[in-house]
Chains A and B, each alone.
Chain A
Amino acid sequence: MKGLKKIALVAAVAAAPFAANAELQALNDASMGAVTGQAGVTIDLSANVTIGEIAYEDQGFLAFSDVSISGQGGTDLDDIRLTIDVAGDTTNRDLGTAALGATYLAGAGFDVSGANETAQSVTDGDLVIGLRSQSGLPVDFNLSIGEIFLSKTGSTVGSLQSRANGGTGGTTLVSDLSIDGFLGPIDIVINEESNSLNVNAYFSAEGNLTMPFMGTSLDFELHNRRGATVAGTVAGTDYSFAHAQVDVSVVDSHNAGTALAPNNISALRVNVQDFSGDLDLTNINTGGTESIGNVYMTDLAVRADMVIYGH
């Protein structure tokens, strides 16, 4: 539990710009008395992040080059409001977000009749982190990655380059990945009594990518406008959110009592409670210059329980 809280707190502190400290005034006793139980942190955030290279080393490398996170159209990733609270008991609960997940969306006028959400339980001592916009509108974002490629052992970290990009690296898996999207409410609850955190997120994404090793390129859009389950749509706008809810915890004795190797190990458990939306793959181009067609998946819903560890 301590580990999870440290992650969240470190991330929150790291993400906070040097907030304005002007005009601080001392509180007198009377005003102090009114503050009790109303603590919590709100961070209004604007950022533009670029990373030249991210390298994961096994024996060889998996590298991500020219990564950037910003708003759409090259603008800053802004209009974000983060609230961070340690919840009290039910008689003394004062969260920075009035409502979580689908309840918040419904209050903002969105149709969430098809949302497949597990209500997040907030109990005394839980850390609750909410991402909202300052304006009330969804937050626009862009994620771009120049290349994702493999590279041999002995390559120089910081100077990895794919063969296709003139370097000595290996196969390029993905190039020219660009994702524009919108963030709806994202709520993270870190449980005080167990090694677990729950992430509940509404978002949309569209963009394009090329997979040189497959000779394939395509455009994609993840949304939730079609089918029997429609979630996160609002009349008169194009907003439409896919949904992902993930419970992350620690398994202390994975494979205990089995013949599986490795057994009785600590591992990370990722329980995908719901990943749902509509996925469009359009302008699919395999090899040539003509599209072979489009694929539309409606009401895609995935449930998966994964235990992840090294070997």
Chain B
Amino acid sequence: MVSLLRFGILATLVTSSGGVLADLKPVADDELSGVVAQAGLTVDYSGQTTLSQFKFENAGAYQVDGITMGGAGVTQAGFSEGYGVNFDDVRVTFDIDSDGVLDVVWQPGISDKIDWGFRADDVTLESSGAKKTALFTNLEAWGFLKEIRRRVNPPAADGSSQGVSTYSEFTIENLTAGASANTVGIEGGYVKGMEPAGFAVLDSTFRPLSAAQSGIGRDTVTLEVHNFAADIGMSNLSIGGVGLGAVTLDNVRVTDTAITLNH
């Protein structure tokens, strides 16, 4: 109620031209000291998003149909584990520090991790001639999110942007895709931390590069992967319905890698 009352008071003040300004008193230094660093915004979030079709179109197209994003319960495997269908228990904080740096942090509220889920009916590629290739069908994934920290960095001394840095800890507990004669099938896919019950780590920065910085003679963007660490695998991979067996990649590390768009 306090928030709405404050809004009401603010609206009243804004709309009262030449309002009463008598009896204003200066705030003492010791009173001001208690005010510093008390601002910032917290949002406790619960929700779900559906999308009947996502289509990225260049000359051809990449298309995903029947998307649901929410809690682990949007997948069959996650639902059977007892998870709900909403992406919830999420606490998002927004802070702007004294240097004008914006930090947006996603963390769990009550529990120690947030369950998430994603499912899609079909994933296809389409040529400019409208020929389609099915990649996946009944694609489902669920896992946990421990935190995402996004920082909009301050500009460099010359005023150029230093982009956005993202640090995240997460897992994919179970990734599946239906096996058929036309698609890639996946059973028991996972991306986890290197320690038991640990989280995979991705630390990266996405930033624009000027022509002078890029080395390709024009403006572009780059993704700098400072650190990616995870165990990756699946219990069975099949192509066209034919099983190829298990895949296991232990202790995968990617560091000091820059991917620069050049088109």
Question: Known contacts being A58-B39, A296-B53, is A150 close to B152, with CB within 8 Å?
Answer: yes
Flag if B99 contacts A170 (CB, 8 Å). yes
Chain B stretch 38-80: residues in CB contact (< 8 A) with chain A: 38-58
| Complex Cα–Cα for A293 and B62 (A) | 11
Evaluate contact between A212 and B208: CB separation under 8 angstroms.
yes
Tell me the complex Cα distance, A297–B54, Å. Answer: 5
In the assembled complex, the Cα of A4 lies from the Cα of B8 at a distance in Å of: 7
Candidates A13, A173, A229, A307; contact of B15 at CB < 8 Å: A13
Question: B36 contacts which chain A residues (CB < 8 A)?
Answer: 59
| A292 in contact with B263 given A171-B100, A287-B209 (CB within 8 Å) | yes
Give complex CA distance A288, B98 in Å. Answer: 33
Whether a CB of chain B sits under 8 angstroms from the CB of A153 is yes
Do B57 and A294 have beta carbons less than 8 Å apart? yes
The answer to whether B219 touches A288, judged by C-beta atoms less than 8 angstroms apart, is: yes
Known: A58-B95, A266-B1, A289-B218. A295 touches B8 (CB 8 A): no
B249 within 8 A of A: no
A141 within 8 A of partner (CB): no
Known: A173-B152, A213-B163, A287-B209. A59 touches B96 (CB 8 A): yes
Complex: chain A residue closest to B4, CB-CB: A3
Please name all residues of chain A whose beta carbon is closer than 8 Å to the beta carbon of B4 when the two chains form the complex.
Answer: 3-4, 7, 195, 250, 268
A302 to B2 CA separation, bound complex (whole angstroms):
28
A129-154: which residues lie under 8 A (CB-CB) from chain B? Answer: 150-154
Q: Could you say which of B56, B98, B153, B163 contacts A59, with CB atoms under 8 Å apart?
A: B98
Tally chain B residues at the interface, Cβ within 8 Å: 66
Q: For residue B218, which residues in chain A have a CB less than 8 angstroms away from its CB?
A: 287-289
With A305-B45, A310-B39, A310-B42 already in contact, the answer to whether A171 and B153 are too (CB < 8 A) is yes
**Minimum distance in angstroms from B195 CB to a CB of chain A:** 26
**Counting CB contacts under 8 A, is A286 at the interface?**
yes
A59 contacts across to B, CB distance below 8 A? 36-37, 39, 95-98
A59-B39, A286-B261, A311-B93 known; A7 vs B11 contact (CB < 8 Å): yes
- Give Cα A299–Cα B47 distance, bound, in whole angstroms: 16
Q: Given the complex of chains A and B, what is the CA–CA distance between A280 and B206 in angstroms?
A: 23
Query: Given A173-B152, A266-B2, does the pair A307, B43 have CB atoms closer than 8 Å?
Result: yes
Stretch at the interface among B20-28, B116-124, B133-141, B154-162: B154-162
Interface check A157, CB cutoff 8 A: no
Q: Are A311 and B40 in contact (CB under 8 A)?
A: yes
Report the minimal beta-carbon distance from B152 to chain A, rounded to whole angstroms: 6
CB-CB contacts below 8 Å: A204-228 with B: 212-216, 227-228
Is residue B33 contacting chain A, with contact meaning CB distance below 8 A? no
Instruction: Specify which of A171, A289, A303 lies most central, judged by the most chain B CB atoms within 10 Å of its CB.
Output: A171
B47 near A302: Cβ-Cβ < 8 Å: yes
Is B100 a contact partner of A170 (Cβ separation < 8 A)?
Answer: yes
Near B by CB (< 8 A), chain A positions 1-21 give 3-4, 6-7, 10-11, 13-14
Given contacts A214-B163, A250-B4, contact A62 B58 (CB under 8 A): no
Of the A-B pairs whose beta carbons lie under 8 Å apart in the complex, a sample of 10, sorted by A's number, is A4-B8, A14-B15, A59-B95, A153-B100, A213-B208, A298-B51, A298-B55, A304-B48, A308-B42, A309-B41
Residue ranges of B at the interface with A (Cβ–Cβ < 8 Å) = 1-5, 7-8, 11-12, 14-15, 36-58, 93-102, 109-110, 152-155, 159, 161-164, 206-209, 214, 218-221, 261, 263
9 closest pairs, A vs B, by CB?
A215-B208, A304-B47, A170-B100, A287-B220, A299-B52, A293-B58, A153-B98, A58-B96, A287-B221
